[in-house]
Structure 1
Amino acid sequence: MEKVIGIGEFGISNQVNDTIRTYALASCVAITVYSSKKKVAGMIHVALPMPGEKNLHKLGLAYFATTGIPLLFERLYNIYGCSKDELKIHMYGGADSIRQDDQFRIGMRNVEAARSTLAELNLMIHHAEVGGTCSRTLLMEVATGKVQVTTQPLSI
């Protein structure tokens, strides 16, 4: 079965016939996590670095790097029995805007927030494909942890 992860969502599976997919990562960041020992795969698609005072409850914890990433790992540890040392962590997305006047630089800020959140959790990124000016779609196989990345140039 294919699980589709939307913006501000995460998913975890231990069913080896499953795949996990997310579409069109531009400035958003996806973290993929895999335990080859337990055949457990997880993915989160975050849109913003951190919540503001008013938008956390409206958008949900997984919408933000600083709140969603810890939630993903909490579930991997407590529900699926994974341990830190068995997890392979990849990061994708965080594209730069093709507009020259982009003052917000959300893509870069999402990458920085994801990196610092993972560091606070004492987790190491094993592979990163971030930045640039392309949109990325990911397909992750639960059986192997393999992540297929499809890119498309960003347009105005």
Structure 2
Amino acid sequence: FLAKLFRGKRVEKILFAATKADHLHHAQHGRLTAIMAALTREARDRARFAGAETEALALASLRATTEDTMTHAGTLLDVVRGTLLDTGKQAAFYPGALPDDPAHILSAAKGGADKWLDEDYQVMRFAPAPLTLRPGDGPPHMRMDRAAQFLIGDKL
């Protein structure tokens, strides 16, 4: 009680979120989370030293895609499907594969590379699906429940 009175309020939890995870197949979400954790490692270490809990998480506040597997040139590809925001047409998109080791991306970025992994990254703009919710249901999302649980679960 006295510590709160004299020190004031302090940040207890910090969530570092990689958003738009619905633009990747779920097989890549662990790698995206690992990249976010590596990107924010120094900030997370400082926050933990100051007494705050931290977590890195891949999430999508409003899921706009579905997942599928397609064959292209004899190879199975994990793709995401959705409605393009600009044209309204259905599209399947192969976002590529994130590296197993986040250092593969981060070392190139720290070195000032213009292109990472010799790739040209572009993001498709997907429109949210029309909502047909039953009373009490929320819109489709990815891991927003885990984010809320981490941030405010102990307060409820």
The TM-score range, normalised by the shorter chain, is: under 0.3
Structure showing the higher strand proportion among its residues: 1
Normalising by structure 2, we get a TM-score of 0.27
Q: If each structure's helix is expressed as a fraction of its own residues, which one has the higher value?
A: 2
Structure with greater contact order relative to length (CA < 8 Å, sep ≥ 6):
1
